A and B are shown apart, each in its own frame.
Chain A
């Protein structure tokens, strides 16, 4: 027995149909899995941020750090002492460009960005006339915490 007869006699057609089906289903499943990979990657990317989001409220419960601690980086806290001395020497209200100029002459490191940090922390605040003053309230709050 040869050829088609032999195939039919040994259920060759059925086996080949099953084989084709298995391969086809596998390919469909594989393509579906591949199509979902981007979601997995997204989840992986977001994993850290979501974890931090979940973690934050817990940390707040454990300890409630003061606003000034959060707002003022340590290096800026150190620099603020030097800047305060310069401001005391200049007198208040003081012009911001003069503070910048003096701090450069005194060789303070990165005076521009430090002044910006002091402004952001509101340790230096504008008066209503184009000059600036040292905010003792924020400083006192910071030292009391």
Chain B
């Protein structure tokens, strides 16, 4: 089942996109129900799918079992689908039942590469999220991690 434009527009990742750009993305995104305890991504596996949370609560864990939790609509799982070397850097587990939008990584990458304006808008947002999550992946810690942000958003 593909997604409607209004749902996409309400997501932070796509908030800057115009109607035409959202129309390009809509058929690529699919709705999926997630059950409590379900694993969406596994660390080290090829990053095939990109997820956007619509509802539910999720835990993302990285090296040395560092982790944070995601509780808000629009939070993203599977950033590695557009980041070299295209392997998941963390494991994502559903803490509760929920709904996610998913997109195949190849299609997402193709879309970003084929439309530079759209790609630029999306990649800016993704880069910001990657930089927030970087300490969890590298262990190099600055002050104020996302584990606080995720709960307060």
Contact = CB atoms under 8 A, between A and B. Distances in A.
Contact of A95 (B66, B71, B91, B145): B66
Contacts of B59: 96-97, 100, 115
Contacts, number: 72
B68 A126 contact: yes
A132 B144 CA distance: 14
Given A95-B61, A96-B59, A126-B148, A113 B67 contact: no
A126 B61 contact: no
Interface stretch (B46-54, B93-101, B102-110, B121-129): B93-101
B55 to A, nearest CB: 13
A95 B67 contact: yes
Nearest to A122: B151
Q: Report the interface size class on chain A.
A: 10 to 19
Given A95-B66, A116-B57, A128 B96 contact: no
B144 A128 contact: yes
Interface residues of B, number: 27
Contacts of A95: 61, 64-67
A119 interface: yes
Contact of B61 (A96, A115, A116, A120): A96
Given A113-B95, A116-B96, A119-B151, A130 B36 contact: no
A126 B135 CA distance: 14
A132 B56 CA distance: 20
A120 B95 CA distance: 12
A-B interface, 3 closest residue pairs, ranked by CB to CB distance from nearest:
A130-B66, A95-B65, A126-B147
22 contacts: A95-B61, A95-B67, A96-B59, A100-B93, A112-B37, A112-B94, A113-B36, A113-B96, A115-B59, A116-B57, A119-B95, A119-B151, A126-B147, A127-B147, A129-B145, A130-B62, A130-B64, A130-B66, A130-B145, A130-B147, A131-B67, A132-B67
Interface of B: 36-37, 57, 59, 61-62, 64-69, 71, 91, 93-96, 135-136, 141, 143-145, 147-148, 151
Interface of A: 95-98, 100, 110, 112-113, 115-116, 119-120, 126-132
Given A128-B143, A130-B67, A131-B66, 13 more contacts: A95-B67, A96-B67, A97-B93, A100-B93, A119-B57, A119-B69, A119-B71, A126-B148, A128-B148, A130-B64, A130-B68, A131-B65, A131-B67
